[in-house]
Amino acid sequence: MDDKLMLMIPGPTPVPERVLSALAKHPIGHRSGDFSKIMAQVIADLKWLHQTQNDVLILTASGTGAMEAGIINFLSSGDRVLVGCNGKFGERWADLCDTFGLRTERITASWGQPLDPDAFRRALEADTQKQIKAVVITHSETSTGVLNDLETINRYVKDHGEALIIVDAVTSLGATNVPVDEWGLDVVGSGSQKGFMIPPGLGFVCVSAKAWKAYETAKLPRFYLDLGKYRKDAAKNTTPFTPPVNLIFALQAALEMMKAEGLDQIFGRHLRLRNAARAAIEALGVPLLVRDAAAASPAITAVEPGHVDSEKVRSVLRQKYDIAMAGGQDHFKGKIFRIGHLGFVSDRDILSAIAALESVLQDLEYPNLPVGAGVTAAAKVIMQW
Ligand SMILES: *Cc1c(COP(=O)(O)O)cnc(C)c1O
């Protein structure tokens, strides 16, 4: 039953009916007063979601476009940047910095391990000449399900004083606390198909006053992604280029749903889903990729089934139960599968997914599988919450 497809991947994530209906409306002129009213509301609501007074700019781009904008607008060729690399996305930002001629220094940890904040502290403390202009951190590393310790790393960036903190919050925003103003995060990038509960196509960049100061002297070329243009037009509740009008309708509806649920409730729900998924996998005796719960992303749980091919698990889940889970990327392909629990995901969804997974592992003759233990453990987390 393809119409019953259940997306348990970390993006695109499931879209609520109310948001789908908003998408289906006839587009309106993006220079109209009606559209400006919607823009005013979504800009205010985006600030609420980011817990900030800073600008939050809306781009027609995926999350990578938002991150590219968030990097190139504030730096010049030859600038020294530290990039945290412990998965696919961190490596992408380092490659992006290389492409633009920045002096990129990778601070690495193996895939599945969190970044070591002390490695950042050492590099920043050693930089007495204040040559490091930015530190780029992927908060929730979606390729492995690691949640990096942004709060601590950011504290070292603040002690350095000069460097900007540029954050990939694509799968942490709307899933866990990212208090932009409280922590003083300079640039925060995200994308619509993740915690926002809307289809792919919009990127968001949140920019601090300190970053705008760097913008004035930054020399990397920029045109479509020149954030100054977006800032100027956002002040008039418009955009410099034609926005995907229907995605803005969807964004308006999704932000209204998020406000009705409340930030603490949203974060609590993601934590519960993560804890339920982890408890279930542990009860089944199947290894979790991220052993330490403190470093586990609230958006995604990676499982390393060892005895069985993870691609086989995924294909049987898809065929028998119409559930899509994500595979491993690069050298993790075939080794892990990833359960997405980001955005419009409920307790019932996680119970269904765990029950189906147990059935598939049983079918694939996973050794010594205590059938039923996963659902029992997940249900316990949910009912005792
Ligand atoms: C999805 C994702 C992105 C953006 O990827 P796009 O395909 O460009 O939307 C960036 N970082 C992380 C951590 C992601 O999960």
SS3 letters across 193-246: CCCCCCCCCEEEEEECHHHHHHHHHCCCCCCCCCHHHHHHHHCCCCCCCCCCHH
Whether the pTM exceeds 0.85: the reply is: yes
Ligand 1, atom 12, lies closest to the CA of 170
Average pLDDT over residues 311-337: 97
- What integer pLDDT is reported at residue 188 of this predicted model? 98
pLDDT at 181 over 90: yes
Q: Tell me phi and psi for residue 335, to 5 degrees.
A: -100, -35
Which atom of ligand 1 lies closest to the CA of 66?
Answer: 8
Query: How far, in Å, from the CA of 88 to the mean position of ligand 1?
Result: 10
Mutate to test the pocket of ligand 1, among 142, 167, 176 (most ligand atoms within 8 A of CB): 142
Domains of the chain, by residue range, sit at: 17-260, 262-384
Average pLDDT over residues 338-342: 98
pLDDT at 7 over 80: yes
248-279: pLDDT as tens digits: 999 999 999 999 999 999 999 999 999 999 99
Q: What CATH code would you report for 262-384? A: 3.90.1150.10
Query: How far, in Å, from the CA of 102 to the mean position of ligand 1?
Result: 21
Query: How far, in Å, from the CA of 376 to the mean position of ligand 1?
Result: 33
Tokens 């991220």 belong to: 290
Q: Going along the chain, which residue ranges are E strands?
A: 6-8, 55-60, 80-85, 103-108, 132-138, 140-141, 146-147, 164-168, 187-191, 202-207, 300-303, 323-327, 337-340
- Average pLDDT value over all residues in the chain: 97
pLDDT at 63 over 80: yes
Helices (H) and strands (E) in the chain, counts: 14, 13
**CA nearest 244: which of 17, 38, 45, 18?**
38
Residue 28's alpha-carbon distances to 24, 56, 145, 330, in angstroms, are: 12, 23, 39, 42
Which atom of ligand 1 lies closest to the CA of 200?
Answer: 9
DSSP class of 340: E
- What integer pLDDT is reported at residue 275 of this predicted model? 98
Residue pair 303/339 in contact (Cβ under 8 Å)? The answer is yes
Query: How far, in Å, from the CA of 368 to the mean position of ligand 1?
Result: 36
- What integer pLDDT is reported at residue 134 of this predicted model? 98
Spatial distance between the Cα atoms of 50 and 59, rounded to a whole number of angstroms: 16
Spatial distance between the Cα atoms of 52 and 179, rounded to a whole number of angstroms: 7
* pLDDT grade for 3, boundaries at 50, 70 and 90: confident
- Would the annotation count 338 as a binding residue? yes
- What integer pLDDT is reported at residue 195 of this predicted model? 97
One-letter amino acid of 339:
I
**Right CATH number for 17-260 from 2.40.50.100, 3.40.640.10, 3.20.20.10, 3.40.50.300?**
3.40.640.10
Spatial distance between the Cα atoms of 220 and 85, rounded to a whole number of angstroms: 23
Show the tokens assigned to 230. 């977006």
Average pLDDT over residues 196-209: 98
Q: Pocket around ligand 1: residues whose beta carbon is below 6 Å from it?
A: 10-11, 62-64, 89, 138, 140, 142, 168, 170-171, 191, 194
- What integer pLDDT is reported at residue 2 of this predicted model? 74
One-letter amino acid of 321:
Y
Which atom of ligand 1 lies closest to the CA of 64?
Answer: 8
Ligand 1, atom 5, lies closest to the CA of 63
One-letter amino acid of 155:
R
Residue pair 340/13 in contact (Cβ under 8 Å)? The answer is yes
pLDDT > 90 in the chain, percent: 99
Spatial distance between the Cα atoms of 290 and 214, rounded to a whole number of angstroms: 37
Which atom of ligand 1 lies closest to the CA of 10?
Answer: 15
138-159: pLDDT as tens digits: 999 999 999 999 999 999 999 9
pLDDT at 1 over 90: no
Mutate to test the pocket of ligand 1, among 13, 59, 60, 62 (most ligand atoms within 8 A of CB): 62
Residues 6 or more apart from 126 whose CB is under 8 A from it?
none
Residue pair 201/251 in contact (Cβ under 8 Å)? The answer is no
Spatial distance between the Cα atoms of 337 and 181, rounded to a whole number of angstroms: 35
Residue 92's alpha-carbon distances to 88, 109, 129, 153, 202, in angstroms, are: 6, 15, 27, 19, 19
- DSSP per residue, 68-112: HHHHHTT--TT-EEEEEESSHHHHHHHHHHHHTT-EEEEEE--TT
- What integer pLDDT is reported at residue 330 of this predicted model? 94
Residues 6 or more apart from 291 whose CB is under 8 A from it?
none
Ligand 1, atom 14, lies closest to the CA of 170
DSSP class of 10: S
Query: How far, in Å, from the CA of 204 to the mean position of ligand 1?
Result: 12
Query: How far, in Å, from the CA of 200 to the mean position of ligand 1?
Result: 10
Which atom of ligand 1 lies closest to the CA of 65?
Answer: 8
